[in-house]
Amino acid sequence: MTDSPISNALATRDSGPSALIAQHRNDIELVMPSHMQKRVGAWIRTTQGLLRRNEKLLEAAQNDPGQFMAVLMDAANLGLVPGTEQYYLVPRWNKKKRCTEVTGVRGYQGEIELMYRAGAVSSVIVEVVYATDRFEYRPGRDERPLHEIDWDVVDRGELRLAYAYAVMKDGATSKVVVLNRGHIAKAMAKSESASGKYPHLSPWSTDTEAMWLKTAAHRLTKWVPTSAEYIREQLRARADVAAEQTPAPVALPQPITVDVEDEVVEGEFVDEDEVA
């Protein structure tokens, strides 16, 4: 009895990229931030489930398992979940290999997660502005943008702007990033997933608003600490403070050794009988 195409496909999944992920569980857990390591099982199951649901992604992972694992390790190192708006997994056409391979695209929720994880911000605001929205922001005059939305409008029109800023722990407002359609178009043109052989599979096509948000959030990371950089700076600062507060060692006087036999003490001899 021969196997059916469906059973063959399931066998491929069980012995292909899904099995490869399970085999590298320890490596994945090792590079994850400590707060994610307890959830490595759920992280792996989410990724395996994505392969089961997406034939194109499964095919791309099978074409180059090494590239696929490199992308997953990048997501794990950042502490982001693949196949979500934190970190997209996208099939990309490789001209040299003449086949698709998996590439990773950090989403706007991933960018925001890294900013929060740094511990320097109390809130991050990332929004898009549609044609019917009211938006005002003048640098130097306004601390934060004014964005008003008529929620009764069924169709808010086309996407017009994207903006992002953060409120720091001390209450200060970070630099405000505002991007128009021209800025977004330039960012999209640089995206390999959007300009490749399968642009319809790119998040630029499947989740356009999210990619506008991601572009604004990514620009904001230039002005707001992300986890790795901020933690390193904090550790360096603490080390500097500790060094300044540690008193310098006091040089104790060296003990003076005296050779009794060689020492000559000048003085008056006193007769004990006369004293008495």
pLDDT in tens, 185-229: 999 988 877 766 667 778 888 889 999 999 999 999 999 988 655
Give the distance between the most distant pair of CA atoms in the chain: 131
DSSP state letters, the chain: -PPPHHHHHHHHHHHTHHHHHHHTHHHHHHHS-GGGGGGHHHHHHHHHHHHHH-HHHHHHHHH-HHHHHHHHHHHHHHT--BTBTTEEEEEEEETTTTEEEEEEEE-HHHHHHHHHHHT-EEEEEEEEEETTSEEE--TTT-SS-EEE--TT-S---SEEEEEEEEEETTS-B-PPEEEEHHHHHHHHHT-HHHHSS-GGGSHHHHSHHHHHHHHHHHHHTTTS--HHHHHHHHHHHHHHHHHHHSPPPP-PPPPPP--TTT---------HHHH-
Quick one: how far is CA 182 from the chain centroid? 26
Give the pLDDT of residue 64.
Answer: 95
Asked whether the beta carbons of 123 and 170 are under 8 A apart, the reply is no
The structure's pTM equals 0.71
Domain map (residue ranges) of the chain:
9-106, 111-238
pLDDT in tens, 242-252: 666 655 555 55
- Taking only the tens of pLDDT, the chain with its 276 residues reads 444 443 344 444 456 899 999 999 999 999 999 888 999 999 999 999 999 999 999 999 999 999 999 999 999 999 999 988 899 999 988 888 889 999 999 999 999 999 999 889 999 999 999 999 999 999 999 999 999 999 999 999 999 999 999 999 999 999 999 999 999 999 998 887 776 666 777 888 888 999 999 999 999 999 998 865 555 555 566 666 666 665 555 555 555 444 444 443 343 433 444 444
Q: What angle do CA 86, 89, 5 make, to 5 degrees?
A: 140
Asked whether the beta carbons of 165 and 221 are under 8 A apart, the reply is no
Strand 177-180 vs strand 121-130: parallel, antiparallel, or unpaired?
A: unpaired
Burial class (CB in 10 A: 0-12, 13-18, 19+), 53: exposed
Give all strands of the β-sheet with 121-130 in edge-to-edge order: 121-130, 159-168, 177-180
Asked whether the beta carbons of 223 and 231 are under 8 A apart, the reply is no
Q: Which of 78, 83, 32, 96 is nearest to 54 (CA)?
A: 83
247 Cβ neighbours under 8 A, 6+ residues apart: none
